[in-house]
């Protein structure tokens, strides 16, 4: 399966948010965002064959944690 097909399956509809140099291989690591919400949904490096999916509820969880601080 091609890398893009895997991305389609895991991340679905997406836009390229920005690209950075991959720390592991120096190739372009691409950050993707949801085209409707502009929230980051994941990142992928085609050269490393690595895909990371971001938790779309992360902001919410962080806010809950902050609220729980003394």
Q: Which residues bind Zn ion (CB under 5 A)?
A: 22, 24-25, 27, 45, 47-48
Nearest to 32 by CA among 17, 10, 53: 17
Q: Which is nearer to Zn ion, 3 or 27 (CB)?
A: 27
Q: Is 43 exposed, middle or buried (0-12, 13-18, 19+ CB in 10 A)?
A: buried
Q: Which is nearer to Zn ion, 4 or 62 (CB)?
A: 4
Q: How far is the CB of 27 from Zn ion (least distance, A)?
A: 5
Q: How far is the CB of 6 from Zn ion (least distance, A)?
A: 15
């Amino acid at each position: 399966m091609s890398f893009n097909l895997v991305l389609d399956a895991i991340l679905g509809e997406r836009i390229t948010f920005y690209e950075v140099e991959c720390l592991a291989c120096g190739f372009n690591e691409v950050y993707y965002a949801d085209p409707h919400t502009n929230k980051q949904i994941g990142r992928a490096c085609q050269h490393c064959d690595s895909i990371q999916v971001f938790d779309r509820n992360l902001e919410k969880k962080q806010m809950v944690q902050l609220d729980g601080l003394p």
